[in-house]
Amino acid sequence: MIKKLMKSIGQYKKETILTPIFVSLEVILEVIIPLLMANLIDDGVYGREMNMVYKIGIQLVICAALSLLFGMLSGMFASKASAGFARNLRKNLYFKVQDFSFSNIDKFSTSSLVTRLTTDVTNVQNAFQMIIRIAVRTPLMLIISLLFSISISAKLSLIFLILIPFLGVGLYLIIRKVHPLMKRIFRTYDNLNNVVEENVAGIRVVKSFVIEEKEKKKFGKVSNSIYQDFSKAEKILALNSPLMQFSIYGCILLISWFGAQIIVNSGMAELTTGELMTMFTYSIQILSSLMMLSMVLVMIAISKSSAERIVEVLEEVPDIKNPENPIEKVADGSIEFKNVSFSYINDKDKECLKDINIKINSGETIGIIGGTGSGKSSLVNLIPRLYDVTEGELLVGGRNVKEYDLEALRNEVACVLQKNVLFSGTISENIRWGNENATDEEVEKVCRLAQADEFIQTFPDKYETYIEEGGTNVSGGQKQRLCIVRALLKNPKILILDDSTSAVDTKTDSLIQKAFKEEIPGTTKIIIAQRISSIENCDRILVMDKCKIDGIGTHEELLKTNEIYREVYESQTKGSDANE
C-alpha cells in the first residue's frame, strides 16, 4: 500500500528529503540549548563570570536563531511536499477513474469515489506531512534527549525508563480503540455524500412531492451516525491530554524530589543546579515527543482507512482495456451479434440479454422497441464496449469489438444515452465535445440537422448562450437535441439514440428522422424509442421482450406477425384517435 502511494510523490522528492534533514538539524540544536543553559547557570551565574555569561548567551542566541530558521525551512518544504503529493494523488485517482468501465464505477459508486478524491486524499495529505516532519522529529528528539539526560544523570534517567512504557501502553490502547471507529466513519461519509448528491440532483422532485422533511430526516440519520462515532472517537482521544499531563507532572515531581536529594547529598558533585534544570527541560522534551508521536499515530490510524480506500481505486483493474495489438480503424458501420448473452454481475441466472443473434448492415436504420427492463439499453451499451458481452461474440466492421483500440472504436460509435448530460459552459463548447476542431459552419449544419438551430437562434447570445450545470436553463427537448448535435459532430460510422427524442414533439421528431435519412445515409443508426412513430420508417425494427429478441422486421411485417408490436401500436393509435 505504501509503495503504491509513494509513487504520487513524483517531482516533490527533493522537498520530501529536505524536510527531515532540516527537522533533524532543528532537533539537534533544541537539545543543545538546555546544555548551554546549564553551563550558563553553573559557570556563568554561580561562577560570577560575566564574560562566560556573554559568551554562552551569544551561543544561545545563535542556536535559537538557527533552530528557528531550520524549523521554518522544514515547515515550508513539508507544506510544499504534502500539497504536491496530494495534487499528484488526486490526479492519479482521477485519471484512474477515467479508465474505469461502467462496471468498475458501479462497484465503487459515484459518492464513494467523490469521498476518496476529497476527504480521503486530505487525510492522507495531513498524515504525509506529519510523517515527514513530526514523525522524524519526535523519535529523534526522544532518543537524543534520553541519551543526553543519561549522560547528565543515569540515576534520574531511570524515571524516564519507567514512565515511557506506561505512556506508550496508554497511547497504544487509545489508538487501538479509535482506528475501527474511524474506519466506520469514512464508510458512513460515502452514504452522507450519496444522500446529498441524490437530494441536490433531484431537488425538483423533492419539492414537487413536498418531501423535504423526509429528506431532512434521512440526512439527519446519516449525519447523526457520523456524529455519534466521531463523538465516541473524540472521547477516547481526549484521554491523551490527562495521560500526558499526568506523565509530565509526575516526571517533574520525581526529578525534583530525587534531583534535590542527589544535589544535597553529593554537594553538587554528582548533579549541579544547572544540570537539574536541564533534566526538567529534557523531561518535557521526551514526554512531549511521546505525545506528539501519539498524535502522529492517531493521524496515521485515521488516514490508514483513507489510504486503504484510495489504494483500492488505484489497484482496481479496469474490466475493459485495450488488447496488446489493437486495430486502429473501424472499416464500416456493420454490426453483428452472435449468440450474445450479457449479465451486469456475470451471473448466468441474472442475464439481461439472452442468445441475441442479429446482423445489421452498414448504413441501415434499426429501430428497437420493448417494455421496461427488456434489455434495449443493455444491447446498445455493448456496441461501444461500455460493457463486455458475457457470452458470445459482438462484431463491428467485421471484427470483434475486443480487438479494437477503445478510443478508435468509441470515436466511430456516437451514443446519445437515456440520461442526457450537458456541462456548464456555452452551447458552442458543449457541442464541440463531439469535435473540438469543428468550424462554425459545421456546427450550424449539424444543429440544423438535429432541429436545434431554430431554438438556439432565439437566445440573445445564440451559440454563446451559457448552459448552467446539468443544462437546467434549457428544456428537456432542447437538451436532447443538443446532445444529438454533439454526437453527430463526431461524424460517426454508428449513431445510437437511446430514447433520446422522448421529450421532443412528434413533428420535430419526424423532421429529425427525415434529416437523418437524407443527410447521413452511410451512418448506421440505431434508434430506441417508446413511440411507434419514431421508428416506423426504419429499415428494420427489433421487438425486445424478456431480454430476448421477440420479433424483427419492417413496420408492416411486425403488425402482421408480432403480437407485442401490434398491441403497442394499437394502444398508441387508439390514444391518438381519442385525443382527436
Q: DSSP characters for 70-134?
A: HHHHHHHHHHHHHHHHHHHHHHHHHHHHHT--HHHHHHH-HHHHHHIIIIIHHHHHHHHHHHHTH
Q: Helix, strand or coil for residue 550?
A: strand
Q: Helix, strand or coil for residue 176?
A: helix
Residue 280: HSE in the Cβ half-sphere, 13 Å Cα cutoff:
14
- Burial-class residue 492 by CB neighbours within 10 Å (0-12, 13-18, 19+): buried
pLDDT of residue 48: 64
Strands 365-370 and 524-528: parallel
Alpha-carbon dihedral 72, 74, 76, 82, rounded to 10 degrees: -150
Place of cell 428497437: 368
Among 495, 560, 551, smallest CA distance to 358 is for 551
Q: 543 pairs with which residues across the strands?
A: 369, 551
| Structural element, H or E, at residue 548 | strand 548-553
pLDDT of residue 579: 45
393 and 338 in contact (C-beta within 8 Å)? yes
Residues across the chain: 580
Strands 391-396 and 399-400: antiparallel
Domain residue limits, the chain: 8-315, 335-579
Strand order of the β-sheet with 335-342 is: 353-360, 335-342, 391-396, 399-400
Give the whole-angstrom CA distance, residue 385 versus residue 184.
Answer: 36
387 and 400 in contact (C-beta within 8 Å)? no
Strands 540-545 and 524-528: unpaired
DSSP E strands, 343-387: 353-360, 365-370
> What DSSP line would sit under 315-355, residue for residue?
HPPPSS---SS-B-----S-EEEEEEEE-TTS-GGG-SEEE
232 and 238 in contact (C-beta within 8 Å)? no
Q: Give me the residues of the chain with pLDDT under 50, please.
A: 577-580
Cut 0.75: pTM above it: no
- Sign of the C-alpha dihedral, residues 167, 170, 176, 182? negative
Please list, in sequence order, all residues whose beta carbon lies within 8 angstroms of the beta carbon of residue 399, skipping any fewer than 6 positions away.
327, 331
Give the whole-angstrom CA distance, residue 108 versus residue 472.
Answer: 27
Amino acid (1-letter code) at residue 280: F
Q: Helix, strand or coil for residue 210?
A: coil
Find the DSSP H helices in 439-541: 440-449, 453-456, 476-488, 506-519, 532-535
pLDDT of residue 46: 64
Give the whole-angstrom CA distance, residue 292 versus residue 114.
Answer: 31
- Sign of the C-alpha dihedral, residues 500, 506, 512, 516? positive
126 and 288 in contact (C-beta within 8 Å)? no
- Sign of the C-alpha dihedral, residues 108, 113, 116, 119? negative
pLDDT of residue 133: 86
Alpha-carbon dihedral 281, 286, 290, 291, rounded to 10 degrees: 0
Q: What is the phi-psi region of residue 342: left when phi exceeds 0, alpha when psi lies from -120 to 50, beta otherwise? A: beta
pLDDT of residue 181: 80
Among 235, 234, 355, smallest CA distance to 302 is for 234
CATH class in words for 8-315: mainly alpha
What is the CATH code of the structural domain delimited by 335-579? 3.40.50.300
